[in-house]
Amino acid sequence: MSPDTLSKPVRAGLVALAVLLAAGAFLINAYVQKERQRDLDDWSIRLGLVAETRVTAIENWLGEQVQALDELANNASLQLYLWQLSQREDADSDAGTEPAQLSYLRNLLLASATRYGFTDTQQAQEIPANLPQHLGTGLALLDTGQRLVVATTGMPETGNAFQAAIDTALSSGKPAFSKLVLDSHERVLLGIAVPVPVVLGAQEHRTYGGVVFGVHNMAQTLYPLLTGGVPMTDSDETLLVREEDNQVVYLSPTRGGGTPTRKSLPLDRSGLAAAAAVHRPGSFGAFHNYQGREVLATSRALRSVPWVLVQEVDAAQALQESNRHRQFLITAFSLLLFFIAATLVAAWRHGSSVRAMQNAAELRDKTIALQKQTELLHAVTDHVEAYVVLLDKQQKVLFANARLAGVTGTQEGELTGNSLAAVIGPANAQPLSASIEQLQQDGHPQHCTRTMSIGGGERTLQCSLVPVAQVGERDNAILLVMQDITEFQRVQQQHTRLLRKLVGALMHVVDLHDPHSANHSSRMVEVANAIGRELKLGEEDLRTLDLAASLANLGKIFVPREILTKTEPLTEAEQALLQRHVRFGTELLADLDFEGPVLDTIEQKQEHL
């Protein structure tokens, strides 16, 4: 079905259905996204709690190490012996004998290393050779010149990174942490330097007399803190990262393998979780990890060291249940939406069917009513004593009653569509053309009397043309009603002739009553008609004037004959009586109903006398 053939209600219904589906889809998507965001917020809280817990554990461990070394650095004996050793001159020292201070410091350092956990849990295997052995953990005491005073067995070598931490501790007077250092055995080491205050009484030259420096193997101490506790999923991972030379350096082991501190990625890599953590510590979102897998990640910055802890979990695994729930919601709500749409369509279809049945019933009732009205119209028009024709503006027959069809010898339906001239004949239609044109020009009804040859004889018809603004889809129609007044006109003419005879008889009576005024009335009629014609009065006015002139002297029959025939001058009383003959005539004629103002005309006979 093409769009042009669809009705307006159908198009409106389709548009409403489309709007309903679109609104439903929008609401479903909004609700599902809200549920997804709720799940993401839950994971943000869970990951944040784990990250906070592990950051706290790391900060506590670092604080414990600093506290232990600070306790050792503030040992009065250590400060005194370190100062004494630094004051010894090579000339006074016995090359073959170790100073007692040094022996004491070594024993103190070994005891402290054992106490504070600066001993390697995996002691180096004894090698029967004179080779240096370096462990991953140790404790050392250095003087202000960063010269080694005493150290535990297997103390790692102090490289540039460790020396930088020692310099920082001596210059700032505060504990300092080194960068993570990778030794020759691929062990990740962290150095902690705590300045040793100079012994009391020797602060004149310097504030600090040396540094207590401890080294820890991250694999044995710090890294286990990143995996402690019950894992949330099989894919969660805790990483330590830091920014260095526009790179993100991974400081802790990763699931993908690789040595810590050697793995780095560009800081401007789009969507990288570690880069986002460095840029915005504390943020949460969906990112990609170092392997390119999508993860949910949050981050926390450490206060003691310039590191950032990243807590990640595989997004697919974390949101598996959420995605399943979201798919269920989408399916359920979509089915509900389509069920509602189908219900509305069914209801609309049922309503359309009911409405169509109602319309059909109403149409049937209207058809019956129209048929009855048509029958009533035909009953009226077919039995009226007139010829009724309805014409369009081209003078084509739209309707003709049975009387006209009968007189023309045709059926009613056969006249429809024919011209007026074809129905009543050109000779009969021609006299009506002027009246029809006049009606079409000014829009006012027209009335005329025409003599037509119809029904086998000459008939006089009173024609009335009435404008009809609208007939169905046609406008400017014309209703022509032709009333046969032949018999009426004959009777009227007979009545007119009788009236003229009666008037003539009355005129003769007046002439007999007043012999001196014989033929006065007839002459007055002639003069009045002549004046009326000169004034170009209408036919009706001429008839009124003629009748008034004929009856003007009727009142003289009430004036005594002696006065009318008197040859001497009339007395005033006689003259007044004579002048009253007009009033006598109007009083006599007052009960008669004339077509025109006959009585008024008679009363004006002597208005200037």
Instruction: Summarize the confidence of residues 501-513 as an average pLDDT.
Output: 72
Same domain, 254 and 208: no
Residue 233 has pLDDT above 60, yes or no: yes
Examine the fold and report which residue of 318, 346, 372 is the final residue of a domain before the chain moves on: 318
Cβ atoms of residues 275 and 268 within 8 Å: yes
Average pLDDT of the residues of the chain: 81
Q: Which domain holds residue 418?
A: 384-484
**Is pLDDT above 50 for 402?**
yes
Classify burial at 365, counting beta carbons within 10 Å of its beta carbon; exposed 0-12, middle 13-18, buried 19 or more: exposed
> Residue 447 above 60 pLDDT?
yes
Q: Are residues 113 and 214 in the same domain?
A: yes
Q: In this structure, is residue 129 part of a structural domain?
A: no
Residue 456 lies in a domain: yes
Residue 134 pLDDT > 70: no
Q: Provide the pLDDT confidence category of residue 495 given band limits of 50, 70 and 90.
A: confident
| Residue whose pair of structure tokens reads 């028009």 in the numeric block | 381
Q: 474 and 415 share a domain?
A: yes
User: Does 552 share its domain with 523?
Assistant: yes
Same-domain check for residues 219 and 80: yes
Instruction: State both tokens at 549.
Output: 């002139």
Rounded Cα–Cα distance for residues 506 and 498 (Å) = 12
pLDDT in tens, 289-298: 998 899 999 9
Using pLDDT thresholds of 50, 70 and 90, give the confidence band for residue 91: very low
Question: Cα(260)–Cα(239) distance, rounded to whole angstroms?
Answer: 10
Q: What is the CATH number of the domain that holds 191?
A: 3.30.450.350
User: Do 307 and 211 belong to one domain?
Assistant: no
Q: How many domains does the chain have?
A: 4
Q: Which of 178, 193, 223 is the last residue of a domain?
A: 223
> Does 84 lie in the same domain as 205?
yes
Q: What is the pLDDT of residue 158?
A: 67
- Residue-wise pLDDT for 536-593, tens only, equals 888 888 888 887 777 777 777 777 777 777 778 878 877 777 777 777 777 777 777 7
Distances (CA, A) of 447 to 83, 427, 433, 463, 464: 147, 19, 12, 6, 5
pLDDT band at 321 (very low <50, low <70, confident <90, very high): confident
Q: Is the domain of 180 the same as that of 79?
A: yes
Instruction: Please name every residue paired with 140 in a beta bridge, in sequence order, or none if there are none.
Output: 151, 213
What does the pLDDT read at residue 60?
A: 95
The answer on 471 and 449 residing in a single domain is yes
Residue identified by tokens 């803190």 is 225
Phi-psi region of 258 (alpha: psi -120 to 50; beta: other; left: phi over 0): left
Assigned domain for 323 exists: no
Task: Find residue 142's DSSP bridge partners.
Answer: 148, 211
Q: Residue 14: phi, psi to the nearest 5?
A: -65, -40
In 3D, which of 186, 201, 198, 176 has the Cα closest to residue 156? 186
Residue 95 confidence (pLDDT): 52
Question: Is residue 283 assigned to a domain?
Answer: yes
The closest of 161, 158, 162, 142 to 150, measured between CA atoms, is: 142
pLDDT at 382 over 80: no
Q: What pLDDT is attached to residue 520?
A: 75
- Look at residue 55 and tell me whether its pLDDT is greater than 90: yes
Contacts of 395 (CB under 8 A, 6+ apart): 419, 420, 421, 436, 478
In-domain check, residue 17: no
Q: If DSSP codes are grouped into helix, strand and coil, which group holds residue 524?
A: helix
Residue 14 resides in a domain: no
Q: Domain check: are 471 and 508 in the same one?
A: no
Residue 218 and residue 79 share a domain: yes
Over residues 182-227, the pLDDT tens digits come to: 888 889 999 999 999 987 766 566 688 899 999 999 988 999 999 8
CA 315-320-325 angle, to 5 degrees, is 130
Predicted confidence at residue 597, as pLDDT, reads 84
Residue 65: inside a domain, yes or no?
no
What CATH code is carried by the domain that includes residue 527?
1.10.3210.10
- Residue finishing a domain among 484, 503, 519: 484
**To the nearest whole percent, how much of the chain has pLDDT over 70?**
90
Residues 215 and 142 in one domain: yes
**From CA 225, how far away is CA 216, in angstroms rounded?**
14
- Which structure tokens are listed for 286? 């969906």
Mean pLDDT calculated for residue range 242-267? 89
Within a domain: residue 452? yes
- 3-class DSSP state for residue 247? strand
> What's the pLDDT score for residue 132?
53
Q: Alpha carbon of 60 to those of 222, 228, 278, 286, 307: distances in Å?
A: 11, 14, 22, 30, 15
Q: Rounded CA gap, 139 and 143, in Å?
A: 14
pLDDT at position 289, please?
Answer: 92
